[in-house]
Amino acid sequence: MGLSVAPATFTMVEFDHAELTAVATRLFTEIGLPASLDAVVEVIEQTPAARVTIESIDPLHVTVEGGAFEDPRRPRTLGQHRVVDVLGQLFHQVSDRLDPAFGAPALDEKLSLPHQVAWDAYALGRLERLGYEAQRPRRLYHFRNRHGFTDEADAAFDRLWSATNLTWARLTALSDAARAATPTPAPG
């Protein structure tokens, strides 16, 4: 039982396994994932890309391409802030998926980009309330790019960012309403 990080020894990137495991374990605990949940964070160190995939929920198996954890100013070096950002968001969304009251979509269901961005905002707002830097201005800009640069989009983002007990239906309703408020360009 518990959380583990693979591989045990990194050969292509200069990641400290103990440091990565400690940060991941702290987030796992602080976010409130069940202690009985087996979890593996598998780092694919052969690629500098930054894709993160939840392979399964129970047991939790996450694959993370090495670039997602890299310090952008020091390539191939672990950026603790990147680990917090990536796993903090992901672990909150796993927690949502484990909560039947949230009503998350199936793991293999393709989400629309606006809905994913709205869920990211909800997860990162909770991460910030745990005391971590969640880059709110950057996330707001990303949200605006998918929901419009409107007062309605900003209000929806604020509700998502500050919420504590949303459901998937409420989250998608906020996203959809923000998008609907975006003016459409006049023809011709």
**Does one domain contain both 85 and 126?**
no
**Each residue of 19-41: pLDDT tens digit?**
999 999 999 999 999 999 999 99
* Any domain includes 42: yes
Residues 48 and 89 in one domain: yes
> 170: helix, coil or strand?
helix
Would you say residue 105 lies in a domain?
no
pLDDT at position 188 is 63
Looking at per-residue pLDDT, the higher value among 44 and 48 belongs to 44
Type and span of the H or E element at 55: strand 52-56
Domain boundary pick from 98, 130, 156: 98
Question: Does residue 188 belong to any structural domain of this protein?
Answer: no
* Domain encompassing residue 173: 113-180
Q: pLDDT category, 184, cuts 50, 70, 90?
A: confident
**What are the tens digits of pLDDT across the range 74-111?**
988 999 999 999 999 999 999 999 999 999 999 999 99
> Of 1-5, 10-14, 80-84, which gets the smallest average pLDDT?
1-5
pLDDT at 118 over 80: yes
* Residues whose CB is less than 8 angstroms from the CB of residue 40 and which lie 6 or more positions away in sequence, other chains included: 3, 4, 5, 6, 59, 60, 61, 62
Same domain, 21 and 88: yes
For the chain, report the end-to-end CA distance as a whole number of angstroms.
61
What's the structural domain count of the chain?
2
Indicate whether 32 and 69 sit together in one domain.
yes
| DSSP three-state, residue 99 | coil
**Residue pair 17/8 in contact by the 8 Å Cβ criterion:** yes
To the nearest whole number, what is the mean pLDDT of the chain?
94
120 found inside a domain: yes
Whether residue 142 lies inside any domain: the answer is yes
The confidence band for 186, taking pLDDT boundaries of 50, 70 and 90, is low
- Flag whether 106 is in a domain: no
Mean pLDDT of 129-146: 96
Using CA atoms, how far apart are residues 166 and 119, in angstroms rounded to an integer?
Answer: 10
- Statement to judge: residues 48 and 120 lie in one domain: no
SS3 144: helix
Do the beta carbons of residue 147 and residue 153 sit within 8 Å? yes
Q: How far is CA 1 from the centre of its chain?
A: 23
Tell me: the pLDDT tens digits for 154-172? 999 999 999 999 999 999 9
Q: Based on the domain organization, do 122 and 79 belong to the same domain? A: no
